[in-house]
Structure 1
Amino acid sequence: MVGRFTAPIVAAALCLLALMLGLLEWSGHEVDRIARNRDHAIVSLVLAQSMERVAHAQESSTVWDEAVREARKRPLDERWLDLNLGVWFEDYAGIDEVYLLDPKGAPIYAMRAGKRARPESYIAVEDATRPLLSGLRRAPTIRKRTEADVAMLSPGQADIAIVRGRPAIISIKPIVTDSGTLRQKPGAEALHVAVVYLDNQFFGGVAEQYGLAGAHFALAPPADNGQRSVALHDRASRVVGYLVWQPFAPGSQVIAALAPALAIVLLLITVVLFMLASRLARRTHDLEESRLHAQHRAMHDDLTGLGNRAMFEQRLDEALARSRRHRTLLALLYIDLDRFKQVNDTLGHPAGDALIRQVARRLVAEVRGYDIVARLGGDEFAILIGEPEGRASIEGICARIVAELERPFDLAGSQAFIGASIGVAVSPVDGLDRTELTRKADIALYKAKTDGRSRYVFFTQDMDHDVRSREETYRELRLALADCDRQLELHYQPIWSLEDRRMVGVEALLRWQHPEQGLVAPGAFIRSAEESGLITVLGEWVLRRAVQDARAWPGLRVAVNVSPIQLRSRKFVEIVREVLGHGGVTAERLELELTETALMAASGEVARSLADLRGLGVHCALDDFGTGYSSLSHIRDIAVDRIKIDRSFVNAVDTVPGAALVEAIVGLARANGLRLTAEGVETPEQLEFLERVGCHEVQGYLFSRPVPASAIARLLTKRAGEGDRSSAAL
């Protein structure tokens, strides 16, 4: 009987033991399967996100009006390409090689391993990029969303290929306009090719971040059954190679560790099952956390924790929909930090990152909890103000932000001072869709920066007109530069010496004989020329024509206005040397004028160019003195030969404060060994005062308006004939 009772118990125990062992075996295999599926999913996600990351990194510079212009420019500005389309990508996004192709697909620029390379090195990737180029040209459409739900700004093609014997991601993006104002024929854009090698460093990062132990690349699947692999296919479904890793098999490990104990002690089965359940729960929790973390990173900025551009555009679309539905106001603020680059250059990028984080905290503190603050990239931020009470409320927020960002920032024991320019667009007044609202906010931001920075500007319709007007001026100016001798001309205003009563020089003043508008003064088009990069070509033409005309006036000094953009060019000094040599004019007869504001804001390259020019014997003058913020000591450090007193000060000499100020300027300049020229002299009383205080030279309508070159020769002849009477007239 005991045996009959014992047998069922023993049989039940054995069955229970077998059931538990079977359940344990099944659970272990299930855990291994889940881990394998997770590994496969991660591998697919990593490859897809890597290609999308490269494409997004490219868009930071390829969707940009300035990049379109620079890619069209001939000769290329290779330094600009290094800083914006080439070498910069190696630091910014870890891109190993960059190639810039012209619209015909020929290489015009190359970067490898963080250094500029010969464009011919593109031959190594040409075979791999050829089908991508064909695909891009055949279907140049924008894929609105990636698999990570991140907006794409431009079309593109990407693939995996073997380059120089190594696996690599190749991504091609067209260089397109971000404002939509530049004309680009579809399929005729310059192309940006990025190459990222899937080397040991890449796979090591994958292994560390996603738990794929021993991840590496292999040309063939592994013979070891203990390893897992995934075939890497290119766009043509050809196998490029295999990603191999050592799988994580937690279930098998549990069975190996616990089976002997379970076979001996049946009572521990419950504990083991509990442990397995706990492990499974933790593993599932970890996988969910990993998914949520990846989703968070896709929509947030890593540096500040704010929403990124993708999240901001999504929130903006949602807010606009609510605004249309409820007929409420919505304010969009575009914020660009002023003088941020100086902080990076002076204190380094870690300080720049710390500054960005502090700025983010201050911006969040200045808005309501339900308003949206995002970092769009670099030193650009955006804020959505939902349902503001009115314009006054928006102005109050903008004013607080400007004031808050003008306060000093503590960075590693140093204080940094920046500012912020803000462009504001308000829906529904300025637009009801995202594209229109962001475009107008960007236009307002541009206006804020050009008006002096550290301010906020609301969009107005005349700004839109100004943008289109600048583009029209730019296009017409390009046509004028193709026909310089017909549409462009120089007028000259004589400069007179007060010491010996004779004409000693002329100032060259550019005039544009527009086919429809007639004679156009420089103020209407010089700014457009500087913004578009045409100022270099325009300035060189002015310099050559002025030197050519000066050959007919022996002994006269010719003054030519130059832009800081010209002086920043490494070739400018050589251009001046070549023009003087070809024109047969001595360097002492050429004087280059730079405005005070431009000189004070100029870089060290400008100061070096001025020093080199003075080394040639060319004189340098500071134009419109008194309108900027310089000091005479600063001017002496930059080393100019002459200052020109602005006409606004000359017009004020009939007042006691104005006369005292001009007299002080003359005294300080003479004490520092600087020559003086007064501009805008229009009355005998002004002339008498300037002569009395010791000014060296004068120019203005009292003597002559700006006249064509032919009139200068007549003035010289007339003055020579008048002899002593010219002294009496002065």
Structure 2
Amino acid sequence: MKTRLPMRIVLPSLLAGAILGSIYATMLWATRQSDQMSIARQERLVDVTVGKQQAAIAHDQESATVWDDAVRKVAARDQEWIDANLGRWMQTYFGHDGAFVLDASGSPIFSYLSDAPGAAEAFSKVDTYVVPLAEKLRQRLARGDEQGKTEQTLSIGESEIVAISGRPAILSAKPVLSDTGDLAQVKGTEAIHIALRYLDGDFAQTMGAEYLFADMRYERSKGGHAERLYYPIKSTAGDPLGFFSWTPFRPGTRALRQTEPVFVAGALLLLAVVSGFALVLHKRSERLMDSQSRLFHLAHFDSLTGLPNRASFTAEVSRRLAAGQAAVLFLDLDRFKQVNDTLGHPTGDKLIAEVAKRLSAVAGVDVFLARIGGDEFTAVAPAEQRDAVEALAEKLIGTIRQPFEIDGQPILIGLTIGIAFAEAAASDAQAIVRQADIALYHAKAAGRNRYAIFGQHMEGLISARRALEQDLRTALLEGRQIEVHYQPVYLAGDNRMISVEALARWRHPAKGMICPDVFIPIAEEAGLIDRLGDLVLQAALHAAKRWPDLGLAVNASPIELRHDNYALRVTAALNRHAFDPRRLEIEITESAVIDDDGTCRRNIEALRRLGVRFALDDFGTGFSSFGRLQALDVDRIKIDKCFIDQMGDAGSNEAIVHAIVDLAHARGLKTTAEGIETACQSRRLAELGCDEIQGYFLSRPVESAGIDAMVKTPALEGSDMARLTGLA
């Protein structure tokens, strides 16, 4: 008995120790495997990123090299044009560090390098690599090699990684080709455009920031830091050019450090167990607790962001109110629905997750942050100092206004916040939440990207909004209060009116003229936009019958375009008024470029077959791009007023406007500039090649009688137009 009793204690302890040792050894092995796999993935990501950059540079080149104008200007050796479109513009717009254009003999037509003072010095630095690369491409062109061309890749190319004066760089060669095929070019004699991008400048920092590599930088040689990872950069020929260096993410080591305390505690507990039955009970208990924890987490936390959900938020509001003062913040993302509509729900989910990370980083530990659904977040903060709560709101708005990058797509959204303060512990949680929601609505009505603090006057604003919605229903039923005004559109350069844009106006019997920015969102939210759109279309077609020499533009809401019968309704209106479909142009916004089920596209295609034209309104202010225009057939783009406002001033958007006009023309699209307010803007847009212009400098929107008078008047100067339309 004296010998068997200790064995009954020792044997279970030895068994437990052996089990624990095996588990820990497995954890160490798993840690090493996890770290190695993570490092391998990071190295593959760097390799893919460099390759992606090579493809991106080639794609950048094609925006200007596959262009009839480029063929002509290079043949004419127009240095100013080449510099503006194939040289420094590439650096300004795409971040390239150098550009070179070689003729059929391999001699430089144009040379530019960011770290060289002149063209000769620039070409002397790169000629050893540029000339052979261009010749290699030229030989492929001569024998008609088209390997690599696709629907997205318009021309073949060559790319290499080389060392330029000791600096690693990507060289990409592309031929200068006709985009229409109207210009005859002898194969093998085309001019060659070479783009250069250094890899040792800001490339490493940009890549690190984009893909979350810690402290990534370029180094000529290994620094001997054991904690850093060095990825060799090699030329296309295999020569070493340096290293990308960063502090690698080691998930296994991090997980081991986090779990070791728990493991030690479990080991001590397990060693204290002297029977297998107690060990089984312990493990069963742990599994039960783990299941309960998961169920609790699912019930109280949002699965997408990991933040507390609505139930947790409500409980936290009640808890904080019971303890004293609190501030409740309702946060709503601006333009998030547009992201979902244009880029898809998977991108929207990724954006929500990134938003949650930014909000959490700003909120800190004293603020309870939650997601209550969709693009809505809430927060409960200490309310002792109102200034601190307002400062928090400004920081939250500021962090969300910074651009996001999701899957390589830059995304700009905003944040609007409603704030309500509970002054005493006796405050009702439900009431304070409702007040924050009302304040949020008030902030959105005031222009978004801002915050508003609840005041008693806001209750009345909600009631006023409901009353305005009811008044709008009545106005649409009666049909007398809604008016259609027309803003003329002029041919750039000679101020000849060629079309009008129909605009809805609401003359309320008691409130007077109500701004479209107020009643159109109400119409969309209340399901009245179809009725409003039909009313405007019918009135505009009836009036435009009197102006047979003018085109007519009407606006269509994305909500209208998503209805299956939109094309039928427009067709019926055209037939009713015997109106030539070729005179009608429908202006749409970028959210119609991509729709989930293709209804918008089918409506547009049906109307285009009748001859109706389409224009993309407010181009450049959201997510629209020339690449996206391939998904939808339009005839015109309208350049938004924000690009026009500062034309002629230092630091203006003239280069962007010029690029939009040139690229639109290259794709066969017309351009219209909106918001012309000065003679300088009008003149400069004509010089840049913009087709049509409209704005208050030329004419305000006027009633149909005003257009009747203007149709009888020859082309006017800006000052005369101002007097005619009431500006002077």
Using structure 1 for the length normalisation, give the TM-score: 0.48
Using structure 2 for the length normalisation, give the TM-score: 0.48
